[in-house]
Structure 1
Amino acid sequence: MDDAEKQAIHRDFEDAVNMTPEQLEDWLATEESRGVGWTREGESEAVGHKSGRRIVDIARTRKTDLTEDDYAHMRKVVGYVHRHAKQGGPRNDEEHSRWRYSLMNWGHDPLK
């Protein structure tokens, strides 16, 4: 992965993740956060919740210290946020929806 590709991924990641590390950490500690998402067989933590913890770590890492795996995860986050956000939330209570909660686990609050 060359520097231009890393810069593009980082820029897209910063656009997609609109929650601060502190906001995301606080969110991940809630029951609502732990109550949404898909969990792999044999695991107890949902994929999105686990991703949220990794996003916090990435956001707190200096850009020069990010690894190829970090960039791969950043790309995954961007893809998830874009796909899931396009689906749109429920019309009746978007604020308290599983759709919003799932996106927030991935660092994106669609109501911001």
Structure 2
Amino acid sequence: MTAHHDEAEDAETYATFKELVNMTASQLHTWLDTDESREVGQKNDGGESVGHRSGRHIIDILGKKKADLGADDYAHMRKVNGYVKRHLAQRPHEVEHSHWRYSLMNWGHDPLK
């Protein structure tokens, strides 16, 4: 893989992330402090859910300048992009107070925005 390809892939990843993550760092931080946020998602060790941990990483990414993003940030953005796209395809009839919405919000996307 050439460096040019990596830069193009990173640029596409970043643009998609900025499109899909429609919550600000402040909104996401406030959301992650709610009981609803903590109640949803897969908990591998019985503690914090994968999505909740992802939300904390997203806040970190949103707080950085693009030039300061590292390979782990781009890897996480690709993970977020894939998760949000897959999850959006499973939209339920009732959205507002659904675990589906709450889970997406942990990943930085509020489908009601």
TM-score, scaled to structure 1? 0.93
Output the CA distance in 2 between the equivalents of 1:16 and 1:94: 17
Which of 7, 12, 18 is residue 3 of structure 1 equivalent to? 7
Question: Match for 1:109: what amino acid?
Answer: D
1:87 aligns with 2:90: yes
After TM superposition, give the deviation of residue 9 of structure 1 in Å.
Answer: 0.5
After TM superposition, give the deviation of residue 4 of structure 1 in Å.
Answer: 1.3
Report what 1:67 is aligned to: 70
Report what 2:108 is aligned to: 107
Q: Percent identity?
A: 58
After TM superposition, give the deviation of residue 78 of structure 1 in Å.
Answer: 0.3
Unaligned runs of 5+ in 2: none
Output the CA distance in 2 between the equivalents of 1:85 and 1:60: 25
Question: Match for 2:7: what amino acid?
Answer: D
After TM superposition, give the deviation of residue 62 of structure 1 in Å.
Answer: 0.9
Output the CA distance in 2 between the equivalents of 1:87 and 1:8: 24
SS in 2 for 1:4: helix
Number of corresponding residues: 109
Report what 2:79 is aligned to: 76
TM-score, scaled to structure 2? 0.93
After TM superposition, give the deviation of residue 27 of structure 1 in Å.
Answer: 0.2
Report what 2:33 is aligned to: 29
